[in-house]
Amino acid sequence: MKSFLSAEFVFATAQYESGDWDSAPLVPANIIDTIARYTEIVVAPTGAIVPLGDERMLRYPFLYLTGHLPVRFNEAERRNVKRFVDRGGLLFIDDHNHDVDGTFHKTATEEITRTVGPLTELPNDHPLYSAFFKFDGPPTTSHELNGWGDNLVHKHLLAVQRNGRIGVLYSSKDYSSEWGYHPDSKRFQSVDNTRFAVNIVVYALTA
């Protein structure tokens, strides 16, 4: 029997005026590959780039934001991000700089606090960690201890929640570097390190 399922999931990368929003160009294709590999979620074969200052960003309830440089939203970006979170979207921010005192971390957390509220630690038994694969907390990355960043293993992700759901998920773990490779290279890994991305997407679509 032919199945008729919901509209497809589009992996959207947030484009913001300040900073280097396109610092991890390989991540979308890799995550799309992972979603298609492990789930039957109908996923668009290519991602989208969505300017935060354009109201049409509200048509993409999942947004991925990354970069190394300072993050400063302009008024339109701030207004749209607030509406996005208030209406139930999930903004996943990953610090590509993975430096706890780095400019991205400082400015991004300040901007999120100013726009939608303070980030708090997400408990490691949060449903996010069991949405598809089981994790005891945020999986570590090879980049956390490579000497380029803060040399800390961040035990928690941060989040802003609305009505019990994550509206902003913030990571200092540099998943953007960890997942920034061509999907075909997965075959060289004993354990796929992008599996946590499935949890994030499944959580966004079901919670």
Partner 1 sequence: MRSPRSRFEFACRVAAFALLGWLLGTSVFPSTGRRVERATEATVAARLAAWTRTAPNVALHGDFATTPETWAIDWLAALGHGGHAVSWSGSPPAVAMSAEALSDPSGGTRIDVAAPAGARVLLRDDASVIDSVHVARFGASVLGPVVVGPIVATTSGQRFSVAPPDSVHTRSIVVIGAAGWEGKFIVSALEERGWPVSARFSVAPNVDVAQGGAALSLDTSRVAAVIAIDTTIARYGDAIARFVHSGGGLVLAGPAGLTASVMPLAPGALGARLRPAVQPKDTIGLGSTGFYPVSALRNDGVVLERRSSGIAVAARRVGAGRVIEIGYDDSWRWRMAGAAGSERAHREWWSRVVGSVAYVGEAAASGAALRDESAPLARLVDRLGPARAVADAGGGSSWITTRLLMTLIMLLLLAEWASRRLRGLR
Residue type, 133: F
Q: Which residue has the tokens 């992008």?
A: 194
Is residue 38 part of the contact set for partner 1 (CB under 8 A)?
yes
Query: Shortest Cβ distance from residue 195 to partner 1 (Å)?
Result: 13
Binds partner 1 by CB under 8 A, chosen from 18, 20, 44, 61: 61
Pairing of strands 120-121, 90-95: unpaired
Is residue 55 part of the contact set for partner 1 (CB under 8 A)?
yes
Helix axes 75-86, 103-116, angle to 10 degrees: 60
Contact by Cβ (8 Å): 104, 67? yes
Q: Is the dihedral of CA 79, 43, 94, 68 positive or negative?
A: negative
Question: Could you tell me how many residues make up the chain?
Answer: 207
Binds partner 1 by CB under 8 A, chosen from 41, 48, 69, 76: 41
Q: How many residues bind partner 1 (CB under 8 A)?
A: 32
Stretch that binds partner 1, among 81-89, 102-110, 141-149, 186-194 (CB under 8 A): 81-89
Stretch that binds partner 1, among 2-10, 20-28, 104-112, 117-125 (CB under 8 A): 2-10
Token pair for 54: 């354009």
Query: Shortest Cβ distance from residue 37 to partner 1 (Å)?
Result: 10
Contact by Cβ (8 Å): 128, 162? no
Pairing of strands 120-121, 158-162: antiparallel
Is residue 48 part of the contact set for partner 1 (CB under 8 A)?
no
Residue 148 three-state SS = coil
Query: Shortest Cβ distance from residue 13 to partner 1 (Å)?
Result: 17
Residues 104-163 that bind partner 1 (CB under 8 A): 131-132, 163
Residues that bind partner 1 (CB under 8 A): 1-7, 9, 38-42, 55-56, 58-59, 61, 84, 86-89, 131-132, 163, 165, 202, 204-207
